Amino acid sequence: MLVLSLPSLCGAQQPTREQLELLKKLPDNAHVLYILGDLNGDGVVDQKDLALLREIVAKPSAPLPAAVRCQAAGDVNLDRKLDASDVAVLAGWLKDAPRVDIPALYWQPGLGCKLSEPYLAATIEPRAGENFLIRFIDPSYSTANMRVQVRSGPATIRPAADGKGYSGTISSDARSGALAILLITLPRNRSYYYDLQVRAAPH
């Protein structure tokens, strides 16, 4: 079986001046998010992405298709490689619908993909009792036109004072490995899930 291993860092797209300023202000424990399955970076997961993934897996030694903006997004089973199993998973997601209704957001250390939709960054794996952030990288986003809600899990959340994101807190009694599932709704009624996993407390 031909397997394409993912690099730890994809080629970076030049952000706009406003986005660059917002990126500079991110705290050290916040990382840029991307959409699992959204290889072309248009903010949705659909048959176009599946076609790109099939092309990549079928020709692993060929240059990436020009439409690919996030190679890492094709690793939908999160095993750090692109192969037929990822194609099968993504095809399963799209079996009964033209697109994934509410895609999941994911991250890699550093900028895992070219800067693309949904232009968000988030804290990774906070500990029990710690605060976490969802920050906007698109200057047109604000708490006036975006919403972040806790759907389940040991967390609370509120708009940040500067209007450029949301601040949350993991419950002090949350267990290591517990998941707080956030629903992030962007302009034009686009919604995404982001799972925050509680990290073990230091010994």
- Within a 13 Å sphere around the CA of 138, how many CA atoms are in the beta-carbon half? 15
How many other C-beta atoms lie within 10 A of the C-beta of residue 195?
14
Model confidence over 18-65: pLDDT tens digits? 888 888 888 777 888 999 999 999 999 999 999 999 999 999 999 999
Q: Helix, strand, or coil here: 194?
A: strand
Q: Are 105 and 34 in contact (CB under 8 A)?
A: yes
Of the two residues 113 and 62, the one the predictor is more confident about is: 62
What's the pLDDT score for residue 156?
97
pLDDT at 4 over 60: no
Confidence of residue 13 (pLDDT cuts 50, 70, 90): low
Q: Write down the pTM of the prediction.
A: 0.85
- Examine the pLDDT at 199 and tell me if it is beyond 60: yes
pLDDT at 129 over 70: yes
Interval 67-101: pLDDT, tens = 999 999 999 998 888 999 999 999 999 999 999 99
Crossing angle of the two packed helices 84-93 and 47-58, in degrees rounded to 10: 170
